Homo-oligomer: A and B are copies of this chain.
Amino acid sequence: MGVRAQQKEKTRRALVDAAFNQLSAERSFSSLSLREVAREAGIAPTSFYRHFKDMNELGLTMVDEGGLTLRQMMRKGRQRAEAGGSVIRISVDTFMEVLESNPNVFRILLHERSGTSAAFRAAVEREIEHFISELTHYTEAHANRHPTLARAQAEALVTLVFNAGASALDLKRSERKQLADQLVLHLRIVATGAEALQHKMDLKAERHV
């Protein structure tokens, strides 16, 4: 890559980073301004257009990047669980750690999920679908679940986790621990319920043999 392309890439990163950096509990993506982002990235407002068509394009980039980051971290967490211990507990703990170290990554997903741009909502749904899909496969493999049930279980689990994440953003560390315990219980309820329904299905199937 030539000197010029490198510099461009660097500026582009500066823009993305500036935008992520300006997110907070009090500031959502849609409230960021092109001028302010450009200012923090150290370029003139109009130079922004050399990198993105408009703020939306920047935002969608952030959602994609954010989703990817999150999934990578969760995958690492699942690897940790392979070593033994409760998958639920370890996953929840991983999730909370990720949340703590990347709150803004989570924020944009969370907020834009119920945001005002259909494109954003779709992008976030896509990321969540990835989570659900990965978890469905995992469950089918490890718990020998019927596909429909595995899918429903994964949907419920991901929903509950994301939701807890949303609440966690507002909490201090101590309260967050409590929330994590609560979440673990919710997840166990779901896992237990899916297990029980699976048994019922199996019994019915036997009777028909």
Q: Please list the residues of chain A having a beta carbon within 8 angstroms of any beta carbon in chain B.
A: 25-28, 30-31, 110-111, 113-118, 121, 125, 152-153, 155-156, 159-160, 163, 166-167, 170, 182, 185-186, 188-197
B170 touches A116 (CB 8 A): no
Give the residues in chain B near A189, CB-CB below 8 Å.
152-153, 156, 190, 193-194, 197
Q: Chain B: which residue is nearest A197 at the CB level?
A: B192
For the complex, what is the distance from the CA of A41 to the CA of B160, rounded to whole Å? 40
Give which listed residue, B28, B195, B196, contacts A115 with CB less than 8 A. Answer: B28
Q: How far is the CB of A110 from chain B (nearest CB, A)?
A: 5
| 9 sample A-B contacts, Cβ–Cβ < 8 Å, listed by A number | A31-B116, A113-B166, A152-B189, A156-B186, A156-B189, A159-B186, A189-B193, A189-B194, A191-B193
Contacts of A155 in B (CB 8 A): 182, 186
Contact between B163 and A159, CB atoms less than 8 A apart: yes
CB-defined contacts of A197 to chain B, threshold 8 Å: 188-189, 192
Contact B152 A116 (CB under 8 A): no
**Shortest CB–CB separation between residue A13 and chain B, in angstroms?**
25
Which B residue's beta carbon lies closest to that of A186?
Answer: B156
Chain B residue with Cβ nearest A184: B152
CB-nearest residue of chain B relative to A162?
Answer: B163
Q: Which of B121, B170, B190, B196 contacts A118 (CB 8 A)?
A: B170
With A and B bound together, what is the CA distance between A83 and B169 in angstroms? 42
